[in-house]
Chains A and B, each alone.
Chain A
Amino acid sequence: MTIVATLGLEVDALNKSYGAVRALNDCSFDVKQGEVFGFVGSNGAGKTTAMRIMLGVLAADSGEVRWQGRPIDAEVRSRVGYMPEERGLYPKMKVGEQLIYLARLHGMSREDAVAAVDRWTDRLGVGARRGDAVMKLSLGNQQRVQLAAALAHNPAILVLDEPFSGLDPVAVDVMSAVLREKADAGVPVVFSSHQLDLVERICDRVGIIRSGHMEAIGTVDELRVTEHPQWRIAFGGDVAALRTWIGTVKGVRTLSLDALPADERGSRAAGAGASDDTVVFEDDGTRPGVEQEVLKGAVARGTVREYSLVRPSLADLFRDIVSAEGVAA
């Protein structure tokens, strides 16, 4: 049974074309039960298409979506909490009535639906608006109602397309907590977002999609491991001399600080704006242990205030992959 429990949601080699446009190209990934999976990619990369196929709203040209080892059928689909990219609710229908209706369409009894809708609208801060028509709510509140629609029927799987867009910081916190809570209860959670800091913070694993193909999948830490590690030295002493010396060490090369994200340019101890005390070099991988040699040399030449591995942020990885797309195109 443990094998089945960890199988979760598998997306296997999906292909989908719209005429000449190839929206998905052998797109594969899996989301284990209890895992929050962040789905990132530039606009038009295929996130929405993949999610719509997972929900059966769209048919794939080839490939399969499985839940616990079996192809997803209507029975499983009715237990998916889905938030489409294009928000959709009946504008003239009252919030409460509408959510109860949708929860019942997902198989809940009337009593359970009423209780769940009360609970979720309260939790998402729109409990006072249950009697209002959806179109009378602000966009942000409509978004909360949309989330309630995805959550109210106690879904076994969550597929959310851009659930955080349009939410205020408080709602973002509530939403993050809800996703974590659902995952902890064993629900696989897939969501797409362009708010990469958020994805980095919340997700157990991340998939970066480009031109319909999953380019990179892994935990944020796994993805951050680069082929050529970069090191940063915050140095008290003659920085120019240190830089010149490192340039002579075999197996490394110094880098311009411009290549780094803004918050990595200075030493953390000196605060922002102290970038002139920092040297960054890249290990080209030809001499294992070369970073120790550089560290010793630096210590011999002055005070090493900080010596650390530069870890690219998700945004950097994303930019790398997107720019590769630019080259390919």
Chain B
Amino acid sequence: MRMRRLRSIRRHATVRALCLGLALAALAILLAGSDASADSASSGTVLVAAATSAQETFNKQCGACHMAYPPVFLPARSWQAITGDLRHHFGEDASLDKATTKAIAEYLMANAADRAPGAPASLLRGIGADEAPLRITDTPFWRSIHGNIPDSVFARPEVKTRSNCLGCHVAN
């Protein structure tokens, strides 16, 4: 099933571009993971109250409705804008209490494209310093990889929308 799905996508996009995207996605996940382990290692002691890290909070709260997008795909100013108005979040009220919102905002901004250590410069290519894209799918980086994929692929029931990365990129 997965192979068939990926094969049909390859018909429309170059294999090279897809592989680059997957490699970067894997890199992003690795970056996010290493940051979290560095945080807990540097704190020295493990407190019960600190057992829920900011990343876990982000995964739980934001991941309740959509994939917990790797923060490295947007600059910090984008995450600031998004977390600054969760009451109006792409047509839905996704607001959280102040402390939770702050923890998530800090985590996203610290791991953003312009702040995460080792983040590839290509993630920010074509985004003006005064621009804060609110959708990963609006970034030149995303478009350069997915630009050739026709609307019909995104309209498939198992994909539904460009925002559903895991509709095509099946995680193992």
* A-B interaction: no
Q: Which residues of A contact B (CB under 8 A)?
A: none
